[in-house]
Amino acid sequence: MKRLILVLITLATLSSCSNYYTFSERRTTSLTPDFVRLDVQLSDFDYLGKTEISISKREYLFGLVKRIDSVNNRVYNYRDVRRLKFTGPEDIKLQPEMQKAAYKVVDEYPDATYYIISSDYENTHKLFLGSRTLRTVEIQAFKYKVESN
């Protein structure tokens, strides 16, 4: 008798903890396109101009000690640091030193919407236990043409 009561209590407990799960399946079709194509041509851009940014730096003891001498042909002031990072769908990868010089591009072309690096030149002069480097990057600025119909 005790076993029958124990089995009934166990069945009642287990059946009360069960959940009902309803699953319905319907055929649907996707209304989103498989791909989106945007035709952009060079005639859709206005060329604003190009700017050259530069960094002159020294490194000693195999790169352990680094010193920036000039940014954009001006003596570098460690108290006044301006840094610019180009972001977007495809970021322009600039070294941290060159990010300190990139503000010149935005200052000259503030209404540009698109930037391209056209050349990247590095001149390194080897010294005893160090080096002196001049790096210049040329960046071109473009703007989208806006046509209202």
Distance of alpha carbon 9 from alpha carbon 2, whole angstroms: 11
CA 68, distance to chain mean position in Å, is: 25
Tokens standing for residue 96: 């941290």
pTM above 0.75, yes or no: no
Which residue reads 């996707």 in tokens? 30
**Cβ(72)–Cβ(104) below 8 Å:** yes
Q: Residues of 63-78 as b/e, b for ≥16 C-beta within 10 angstroms?
A: eeeeebeebbeeebee
- The vertex-75 CA angle with 70 and 81, nearest 5°, equals 80
Amino acid at the residue 50: K
The tens digit of pLDDT for each residue in 69-116 reads: 999 999 988 888 888 887 766 667 788 888 888 889 989 998 888 888
The tens digit of pLDDT for each residue in 39-78 reads: 878 788 889 999 999 999 999 987 789 899 999 999 988 8
